[in-house]
Amino acid sequence: MTRKRRRLYVLLACGVGLGSASALALSAFSDNLVFFISPSEIADKAPVPGRSFRLGGLVEAGSVRRVTVDGHPEAVFRVSDGRASVRVDYAGVLPDLFREGQGIVALGAVAPDGSFRASEVLAKHDENYMPKEVVEALKKSGRWNPASGPPPSAGRWDGLGPSPGVLTHADLSRTAGEVVDPVTSPAMRERSPRLPGAAGEGR
């Protein structure tokens, strides 16, 4: 084998190795990349169950519940972008600024039953701050024009009441292994006389 041919083989081998390494790196990056998905996008096309992504929107009025599953407390609520809403189940401690109408971003994945199982719920330290992902989701839903001022609360978007599909006390009571402890809110009852049992913010 001539020196020139040997050098060509070495270069080809290096090229193949570099290409394989780049492909593996891109694959790992893609697997670790956590996308943001809005409730409307989930309604249009359901994500792959078990794959992590960030869900953002406003906490829907009247949707917050406290439940106990197999002896462990959980929070159940819905996140809305004004056009669609998604049920969220969360077993952790909710942020202090978590409340109905507040913009939040949750990290988690869709469960086989279609609900969103959150591993983390984020609410910014400033209660007047709206996460940029949530702002984009609200604008994309077509229900809010930033030029008209701050976005309306999730409760006003949804007629000051839960949208169809929100878990009720009776719904939760029918779920095996769950003991329901609804969180009531006098302030929410004042804003929405049609919700005598509306739940308040998580604490």
The structure's pTM equals: 0.54
CA 183, 181, 195, 123 torsion: positive or negative?
positive
How large is the average pLDDT for residues 98-126?
Answer: 85
How far apart (Å, rounded) are the C-alpha atoms in residues 91 and 126?
A: 24
Superfamily of domain 36-191: Nucleic acid-binding proteins (2.40.50.140)
**Is-contact 90 72, C-beta < 8 A?**
no
Beta bridge partners of 105: 56, 122
Predicted confidence (pLDDT) per residue in 44-80, tens digit: 888 888 889 999 888 888 899 988 888 888 999 999 8
For position 1, what pLDDT does the model report?
A: 61
Residue with tokens 């906490």: 59
5 pLDDT exceeds 60? yes
Predicted confidence (pLDDT) per residue in 87-110, tens digit: 999 998 898 888 888 888 999 999
